[in-house]
Chains A and B, each alone.
Chain A
Amino acid sequence: MQTNSDNILSAVRIEKGFPGTKALDKVDFHLRRGEVHALLGENGAGKSTLIKCLTGAYRRDGGSILLDGAEVDPRDTFDAQRLGIGTVYQEVNLLPNLTVAENLFLGRQPRRFGMVDTRTMNRKARELLAEYELDLDVTRDLASYSVAIQQVVAIARAVDLSGKVLILDEPTASLDAHEVAMLFRIVRRLKARGLGIIFITHFLEQVYEISDRITVLRNGQLVGTRETSDLNRRDLIAMMIGRELAAEIHSARTETAEGRMRYRFRNYGRRGRINPFDLDVRAGEVVGIAGLLGSGRTETAEVLFGAHRADSGSAEIDGQTVDLSSPRAAIRHKFGFCPEDRKTAGIVGDLSVRENIVLALQARRGWTRPLSRAEQNRLADQYIRALDIRTADREKPIKLLSGGNQQKAILARWLATEPEFLILDEPTRGIDVGAHAEIVRLIESLREKGLSLIVISSEIEELVAYSSRVVVLRDRSHVAELGGDRITAHQIVEAIAAANEREAS
C-alpha cells in the first residue's frame, strides 16, 4: 500500500445509482503521480460512470474524491478542469471549424486592447505544440488534420488547462498503429512530467504496452487493482469477464441436448461484419456465445435475425432452406431477437408497456387484423404476471420502467409471438441482481419447453449455467466450440485468451 502523498487522485467508496441499477457500488480508485493507470471492464461495467463522477459530469451519490490529498467536489467538467482534471474523449470534443490555435486557447485567448491578439495566440500555440513534437500550421482549421493530430491537440489543451490528471477515454479507437505509437510517446512524456494518466481502452495489447497498473471494474464493482507486470493476460481476462477461476470450476453440464437438429446455418456471414460460420442448433438447446467486446457477438446475432442480411451461405430449418433476409422474414419462421442496446433498438419508449408487449405479435398479424383492446390487456397482464414485470399498470410508458423490467417486457414481446428460435443479446446487462436471476431462470425454462436459444453474454459463469454448448468468437470469426463437460468458466476464458495470445504473438 502506498502512502497517500503518492496518490495524486484518490476516489474512495464512490457510489452512483440509476433507476433500477447500481452503476457504481463503493468503488475505490487510486491514481499515482507519474503513472499510466488502465481502467478496464466490459461495456456497462461502470468505467464511464466512474470517469463522469470524477469529472463532475455526474453527481455521485456517495464517496469522496481527494486530489493532491485535499477533498474536492467538482460540480461540472469545467470545475474539474479548473481543479486539474482534464479529459479527452474518443470523439474529439473540439471545434473542427476553428483553427488549431483557436481550439487550444478557446475561452482564454490572449488579448490586446480588448481584441483577440491572434499573433500572440498563434505563437503560444506553436510553442505549446512543440512540446508534443508537433510542428503544425496552427492557423489552419483543426478539421484539416487527422484524427490522431486532433487527439494530440485535445490532449495539449487538456494538459495546459488542467495539468494534474489526464483522463484518456478510448483515445486509440480510431487510430492506426503508427498513430498509436506517436500518441504513446506523448503519453510517456507527460507521465515523466508527473501527471497521473487514466487510460481507458478495449485493446489489451495497448494496456500491456503503456500502463503501469490496471484497475478492473465489473457490474459496477471493483474487481481489483494490479501492477501490470504482475498480471498475465489470462488472469486479466478472467478479472474482466468472470470471477476468480478457482471458484469457477462449475459443475460441468453432463447432459447434452437431445432434441432433434432443427436449425442449420452453413457458411453464413456478411462481409465486413462477421466472417462466414457454421452453426447448428437443436430444439431445446441453449447455444451460448462468448468473446470479448468487438469479437463479432452482436454481428452474429444480427445476421441470424436478418437485421443485416447475410451475403453468403444458407440457412435451413428442419431440412428446408429458408429465407432469413429481414427481421420480418425471420419472424415468419418464428424467430425472436432481444437486441443488446435496449434503449435504441429494444423499447419503444413513449408507448405503454401493453403496446410494447403486443407490438411484435401485432406486426406479424398485419395492420388489418388488430388485436382487440381486451386481448391486448389480457396478453399484457398475463406476461406482466408471468415475468413479474414491476410496473404501476400496463398503461405506463415503458421508458419509465427500470432496465430489468424493460428487458422483461421485451422478452414478453417475443414470448407473445410464441417463438421457436430466440436470440438474446446480453439479456442481463445493466439490470439489477434480482431481475438478473429471474432472466437466467426464464432462459432455462424456455429451453425445457423445447425452444432453441442463442444467448450472447459477457458473463462467463452465466453462460456456463445455462448453455448446452458455447461458441467462442474472436476477430469476427467463430474460433472454437465447447460442449458437454468442457463448458467451464476456466475453459471458456482459456479459449478466449488462447485466441488473444495467438493474435498478440
Chain B
Amino acid sequence: MTSTVRTYLGRLLPQLIALAIIITAISIIFPGFLNLQIQNGRLYGSLIDILNRGAPVVLLAIGMTVVIATKGIDLSVGAVMAICGAVSASLITSGHSLVETLLVTLAVGILCGVWNGILVAVLDIQPIIATLVLMVAGRGIAQLITEGAILTFIDPGLIFIGSGSFLGLPMPVVIWLIFGILVALVVRQTALGMLVEAVGVNREASTLSGVFTPVLLIAAYVLSGLCAAIAGIIAAADIKGADANNAGLWLELDAILAVVVGGTSLLGGRFSIAASVLGAVIIQAINTGILLSGFPPEFNLIIKAAIIVFILVLQSPRFRTAFTYVSMPRAAGKPTEREAK
C-alpha cells in the first residue's frame, strides 16, 4: 500500500515542486498572499481565488488528458464552452427550469464530443484537423444561439453555480473537485485507464488484441465535450451571461498546456488526471501571480511563457540525462563508447 502511495507521489512530484516554488515566490513578494479568511461561512483568499478562477481550465484539462492519452487532441473545447454557455443562457431565459437547462446543456456538450469522436474514430481524420472543424464552427453556432448579443440572465439557481459556495468553498471548486475525483475513480477502478493507454501507445496492436478502439476513442472525446459543457456553464454563470465571442477563448490551449505541464506526453499513452489538474492550477497560479505583481499587462504572456518553458525543460528527458551526467562524480571518467573501441 505504502509503495503505491509512493509511486503516486513520485509521479506528481515535479508538479508539486513547481507549484510550491511559484506559490512561495509570490508569497515572498506579497506577504498577504497565503492569508485565508472566513466571511459568511465561506473561505476567501488568493489561494482560493486561484482554485476558483482556474475551474474552467481544470475541467477542460481533465477531458483533454484522456483525449491526449489516446494520442489525440481536442481543439474544440473552447468553442464547445461557448456553445454550451449560449445554450444554457438561452434556455434559462426562455423559461425552462434549471434542471432542464443543465441536462440539455450537458447533452449538447456530449453531442459535440460524439461529433469529434466519430470524425476521429470512424472517419479516421487526424484529431487536430477533426476538432479544428468544431473549433472554427463552434463560435459561429454559439453566436447563432445568442443572436450575436451577450445573453444575460438573472436566474439565481444558475448564478449560484458560478458564484455560490458549498461547505465554505466556491461552487466551481466544489464541482471540479467532485468531477475530477469521479473521473479519476472511474478511469482507474475500471479497466478504462489501461485500455485508453494501450490504444494511445499502439492503436493497431490494441485493435488486434480485441480492444474496441472506436468506442474508446469516441468515449474520450465525449468526456472532453462533457467537461467543456460543465466549464461553459460555470463561465456563463460567473458573468451572468453568455458571451459567444469570448467565453472559453484560447482556453483549449491552456488546457493542452496544463496536460503537458502535468507530464502527460502528447504522443499518447501514460496519463495522470491528478497531474493535469495540478498543471492547470500551476497555470492559474502563474496568471494570478503576474496579475498581482502589477507588471504592465504586455509582459504577462511573455513571463508566463518563460515560466512554462522552464517547467517543461525541467521535465525534458534530455535535461534530466544531462543533469544526472553533470552531477556524476568527475573522477569516474568513464570511457565513451568510441574510446572503448
Contact = CB atoms under 8 A, between A and B. Distances in A.
B205 A345 contact: yes
A370 B191 CA distance: 5
B209 A367 contact: no
A210 B206 CA distance: 44
A337 interface: yes
A371 interface: yes
B195 interface: yes
Interface in B185-232: 189-192, 194-195, 197-198, 201-202, 204-212, 216
A213 interface: no
Interface in A321-378: 327-328, 331, 337, 339, 344-351, 355, 359-360, 362-371
Contact of B211 (A339, A350, A363): A363
A365 B190 CA distance: 11
A363 B209 contact: yes
Contacts of A369: 191
Interface string A392-423: 00000000000000000000010000000000
B241 interface: no
B240 interface: no
A345 B192 contact: no
Interface in B166-188: none
B136 to A, nearest CB: 28
Given A331-B210, A350-B270, A359-B211, A345 B204 contact: yes
A351 B201 contact: yes
B209 A413 contact: yes
B212 A351 contact: no
Contacts of B208: 305, 307, 327, 337, 339, 345-346
Interface residues of B, number: 22
B202 A328 contact: no
Contacts of A349: 201-202
Nearest to B269: A350
A367 B190 contact: yes
A360 B212 CA distance: 11
Contacts of A365: 191
A271 to B, nearest CB: 21
Greatest chain A CB density within 10 A among B202, B210, B216 is at: B210
Contacts of B194: 351, 355, 359, 362, 370
Greatest chain B CB density within 10 A among A345, A347, A371 is at: A345
B107 to A, nearest CB: 23
A344 B209 contact: no
A360 B210 contact: yes
B144 to A, nearest CB: 37
Greatest chain A CB density within 10 A among B198, B204, B208 is at: B208
Nearest to B187: A367
Nearest to B211: A363
A344 B212 contact: no
B205 A367 contact: no
A367 to B, nearest CB: 5
Given A368-B190, A370-B189, A362 B201 contact: no
Contacts of B204: 344-345
A375 B212 CA distance: 22
Contacts of B205: 339, 344-348
Contacts of B198: 348, 351, 355, 359
B104 to A, nearest CB: 27
B201 A328 contact: no
Nearest to B196: A367
Contacts of A345: 202, 204-205, 208
B322 to A, nearest CB: 22
Contacts of A328: 210, 212
Greatest chain A CB density within 10 A among B189, B191, B216 is at: B191
B195 to A, nearest CB: 6
B191 A348 contact: no
A367 B195 contact: yes
A368 B191 CA distance: 7
Contact of B209 (A350, A359, A368, A370): A359
A360 B195 CA distance: 10
Nearest to B206: A348
Contact of A367 (B192, B197, B202, B210): B192
Interface string A446-476: 0000000000000000000000000000000
A327 B207 contact: yes
Contacts of A359: 194, 198, 206, 209, 211
B200 to A, nearest CB: 8
Given A365-B191, A370-B194, 16 more contacts: A328-B212, A331-B210, A339-B208, A344-B205, A348-B198, A348-B201, A348-B205, A349-B202, A350-B197, A350-B201, A351-B269, A362-B195, A363-B195, A363-B212, A366-B191, A367-B190
26 contacts: A327-B210, A344-B202, A344-B204, A345-B202, A345-B204, A345-B205, A345-B208, A348-B198, A348-B206, A350-B269, A351-B194, A351-B201, A355-B194, A359-B194, A359-B206, A359-B209, A360-B209, A362-B191, A362-B194, A365-B191, A367-B191, A368-B190, A368-B191, A370-B190, A370-B191, A370-B194
In the A-B complex, the 3 residue pairs with the smallest Cβ-Cβ separation, listed nearest first, are A370-B191, A363-B210, A331-B210
